[in-house]
Amino acid sequence: MSGDRRAVPPAVPGAPLLEVEAIDVSYARHGHSPVRAVTGASLTVGPGEVVGLVGESGCGKSTLGRAAVGLVAPSAGQVRYRGRPVEVLARGARPRWLRSLQMVFQDPYASLNPRRRVGRQIADAAALGAGAALDGKASSDRVGELLDRVGLSPGVAQRYPHEFSGGQCQRIAIARALAAQPDCIVADEPISALDASAQAQIANLLAGIAAQSGLGMLFISHDLSVVRKIADRTVVMYFGRVVESGPTAPVWARPAHPYTRALINAVPRAGAGGTLPAELPGDVPDPARPPAGCRFHPRCPEVMDSCRTTDPPGVDIAPGWQSVCLRAQPLPATTTGAGEVPGAAEVAGRPEA
Ligand SMILES: Nc1ncnc2c1ncn2[C@@H]1O[C@H](COP(=O)(O)OP(=O)(O)OP(=O)(O)O)[C@@H](O)[C@H]1O
Ligand code: SF4
Ligand SMILES: [Mg+2]
């Protein structure tokens, strides 16, 4: 970690690294009503913490991730990094303290410049992170060190992106993000464009970097099985809202929200690609016309009359674990640990309430 970068202290000492607080994000559409992609969503990412963000295609994961790094502006709520508000600014106008918040995108080929050698692209990011261009030897040493860190030979620095596989390109994109000396990374589907073996390698690489470097990571994926393996906490989104969030092991073992249960039930059969859970009837609703009451009610196997009219509040299942469902009930204080709750198979069909 560079001392230079630490010259900017957090505005709020002790604040989480990344805080997304009750944000709404809408997209204007010509001739149509706006799409409310995210509604009232909140999450936090702490140092060294991997937070998995899951949900079906179109539920707003990327929008939330882009808002979290200041690529899209919320119409309500706030995003804070190190306790300071994150504003949407042009890349060159981003203040130094915000450069330690980095994003890794789904498509590694699209995120790299095809006409520049990969070593040059990593060196550019390193210079940005250091606040000044590094001299030749320092720059090539740093590039070599970063390539080594992501499992590539320093010798590949002279090559162009098209000379690499998708998995190798994603490693290069991660090296470039690390070059900026991040404290926090938002990784938006960083593995979904890769083949199965590269998916596991990249997911483990990112989790290892978070654990070793103490950086926080928001890991966006529609693949709950990967999130289960690498995330400390899981945040589940449905149709623009966060419907459940909590520590991964208990959430997996005893999902409190019917939608989380449906996702977990679908994991062995769903494969990649945001496949709709087989046991859920109906499609994700039209984003311009959200259903009244609970947004999940048209598809919920446990729907009650009140769900059609009442927007459910968040209920604390246990400290740090919340479910947005009218059936949600707090757990007795003695049953909040992952090892003290029944397995997923026992609870998959029924709410605890
Ligand atoms: N630039 C845009 N303009 C208009 N609507 C958009 C735009 N980007 C996203 N949307 C809409 O916002 C909603 C949320 O999209 P978003 O890409 O955030 O979902 P997602 O969960 O990341 O989906 P996926 O898993 O397919 O990546 C969708 O209805 C999508 O069609
Ligand atoms: S509030 Fe009702 S419809 Fe919504 S998830 Fe809970 S039980 Fe299902
Ligand atoms: Mg997305």
Instruction: Kindly report, residue by residue over 105-119, the tens digit of the pLDDT.
Output: 988 888 899 999 999
Instruction: Kindly report, residue by residue over 200-224, the tens digit of the pLDDT.
Output: 888 999 999 999 888 999 999 988 8
- Ligand (nearest to CA of 301): 2
Which residues are registered as beta bridge partners of 21? 78
> Checking phi first, is residue 274 left (phi over 0); if not, alpha (psi -120 to 50) or beta?
left
Residue 260: closest CA among 238, 276, 291, 282: 238
Residues whose CB is less than 8 angstroms from the CB of residue 123 and which lie 6 or more positions away in sequence, other chains included: 134, 139, 140, 142, 143, 179
**In which order are the strands placed within the sheet that holds 321-323?**
101-104, 184-188, 216-220, 50-54, 233-238, 241-247, 321-323, 315-318
For the chain, the average pLDDT equals: 85
The CB of 292 under 6 Å from ligand 2? The reply is no
The Cα–Cα gap between 19 and 17 comes to: 7
Segments forming the whole domain that contains residue 316: 250-347
* Confidence class for position 32, pLDDT limits 50, 70, 90: confident
The reply to whether 259 falls in a domain is yes
What pLDDT does 115 receive?
Answer: 95
Distance 222 CA to ligand 3 centre (A): 9
* Confidence class for position 292, pLDDT limits 50, 70, 90: very high
The reply to whether 172 falls in a domain is no
The reply to whether 327 falls in a domain is yes
Higher pLDDT, 352 or 315: 315
What pLDDT does 224 receive?
Answer: 85
The reply to whether 317 falls in a domain is yes
Question: What average pLDDT does range 67-82 have in this prediction?
Answer: 95
What are residue 185's phi and psi, to 5 degrees? -125, 135
Residue 313 DSSP label? P
8 has pLDDT over 60: no
The reply to whether 66 falls in a domain is no
97 has pLDDT over 90: no
Residue 35: closest CA among 46, 44, 24: 24
Identify which of 62, 223, 235 to mutate to test ligand 1's pocket (most ligand atoms within 8 A of the CB): 62
Higher pLDDT, 320 or 267: 320
The CB of 27 under 6 Å from ligand 1? The reply is yes
The reply to whether 288 falls in a domain is yes
Task: List the structure tokens of 288.
Answer: 């311009």
Distance 105 CA to ligand 3 centre (A): 9
Asked if residues 149 and 178 have their Cβ atoms less than 8 Å apart, the reply is yes
The reply to whether 298 falls in a domain is yes
The reply to whether 289 falls in a domain is yes
Residues whose CB is less than 8 angstroms from the CB of residue 75 and which lie 6 or more positions away in sequence, other chains included: 24, 25, 26
CB under 8 A, 24+ apart: contacts of 287-295: 287/35, 287/36, 287/37, 287/58, 287/239, 287/240, 288/29, 288/32, 288/33, 288/34, 288/35, 288/36, 290/36, 290/39, 290/239, 290/240, 294/325, 294/326, 295/238, 295/239, 295/240, 295/241
- Positive or negative, the CA dihedral 167, 173, 176, 178 is negative
What pLDDT does 223 receive?
Answer: 82
346 has pLDDT over 90: no
Distance 260 CA to ligand 2 centre (A): 11
Which residues are registered as beta bridge partners of 246? 234
The predicted model scores a pTM of: 0.88
180 has pLDDT over 50: yes
Q: What's the domain count of the chain?
A: 1
The Cα–Cα gap between 98 and 190 comes to: 21
* Confidence class for position 302, pLDDT limits 50, 70, 90: very high
